Each structure stands twice: as C-alpha cells, then as structure tokens.
Structure 1
C-alpha cells in the first residue's frame, strides 16, 4: 500500500492505504432481510427466524432538532463560523451512528451464518411518500443511502453478498 503523512490542525497524522482480498461468495440459501426506517433505523430478519432492531430513531431526531435549534440561535447572534462547526459536528455524529448500525448488522449476519443480505430499494422514497410539515424534516435528513453503502462495504469484507 501507500502511506501519506499530513497535518491535521496541530497534529501529524499518517494515512495508510492497503488492499484487502475479497472472500468468495457461497450461496447456501441463508439470507437476511434488512428494513430501513426513520423511527427505527434498521430491522433485520434472518432466514432462521431471528428479528433484531438497530439504533434509536428518536435519538437521531432529537440530535437533529437540537443542532437545528443551535444553528438558529447562532444565526441570530450572527456567528457563521460557529454554525459551520456545529453542522460538521452533527454530520460526524450521524455518520458515526450509521457506521455503528452497519457494523452491528454485519456482525449479526456473521453470527447467524448468513450468505446474502437483502436491502430494500429506497431510490425514490422522498418523491413517492406522503409528505407533511411534521414528516418533511426527518424524511429529508434520512441517511438511508449512506447506511446502505456502509452495510454493503462491511458485508463485502465479511464475505457476504448484498442485494
């Protein structure tokens, strides 16, 4: 691989890039279906009948509402740099939550010896669902695609196919 040394603020960070061989897929019929949602970020059902809920949608909604309130307050105080900083913090927190949920899903699949994870296709969900003033903010800040991407790459590393 390659290594690059960069400065991040006052720290020196080494970034290492390496390749991992993807394991070969075998299909023995065991599968896991994952349903993505807003109130519960993910629910999995394995072919052996196991159901598991992941994440806390209420906590996610609270975090978004809290940071929206802070941005509004800082906007009135005319502090654009602070707004940018807390917005980035909110994004990092949400990305971390998606990483944790995806890791948990893939670990559950490995424990149940699942060979295929099936995700629902949510490509046009924002235009096809019923919208309301109450529902819009959570629908338009829902990171289902990012979560699906995280599940996909972590499953690939574990030798699990994603459909």
Structure 2
C-alpha cells in the first residue's frame, strides 16, 4: 500500500486524522455488511440494541442513547421507531420527564442481538483486533480513550441549544 498522502495545505500531524478516518470507514463497512447479512440491521440499529443490551432491565432515554452513540436525537428516534416496529425494542413515556421517552430491549431484540453478536465479534477480531499485538491494542485503547476524554466535555449534540435568531 502506498504511503499516506497528506494534502500540502495541512500540517503533517493530520496523518493521524486520515489514518483514523480510513480505519473507521473500513471497520464500519465490514460491520454494516455483517450486521445486514446476519440480522437485517443497520450499524446504528446494532449500536442501539447493544447499548440497551448492556442492562436489558434498565430503560434508556433517547437523550442518553443519542449522547452515548454520538447520533442526532431525531435520527436516533427514527431508528428506535424502526426497531420498535420490528418488535426489538419498546418505548414508554419517561417517568422523570413529561416529554421524554425511554427505550427498552425486548426479548426478541435480545435474541437478535445474541444471534448477530458472535459474527460481529469474529469480524471485528479478524479485520481489526488481530492486526495488533496485545501491547499495541493496550496502547491504542489508551490513546483513543485520551482523545475521547478530551472531546467528551464538549456539550453532546443532543444537549446543544439552538442559536436564537437575531
């Protein structure tokens, strides 16, 4: 593979940015293919099911899911609606917020998650994890956690207040 080319108008340290974009794109493409073939799911739908599956007994608010998945609330609401139509999640009014809605994984959603997860783990292992030794995985995880901690304090998209018209 040829050496990564950085546009001359950008500083050389942008190489890390372009490398991350390439790896993220390739990993997402492989994930989307596997999830579509094995479960009829989009990547975002899988992320929703997986997040709800972390604690299936605890309903999660749309805001929590949007912030956690770094997804717009409207886009997330649409995807949760599709999952609800398929019987994979249920939505209920929030007891804490008159306008809020919570989502919970259904038994069918948990079963689908259990069905697609082994193939997903195998695909991620093969195309990403196996490319690195244990020390490199630990170092990359540490570095990405450092960047995420730097970025997360900024208000999440779902919490941003729209600019008031002048």
TM-score, shorter chain, exceeding 0.5? no
The one of the two structures with greater contact order (alpha-carbon pairs below 8 A, sep at least 6) is 1
More helix by share: 2
TM score, norm. by length of structure 2? 0.30
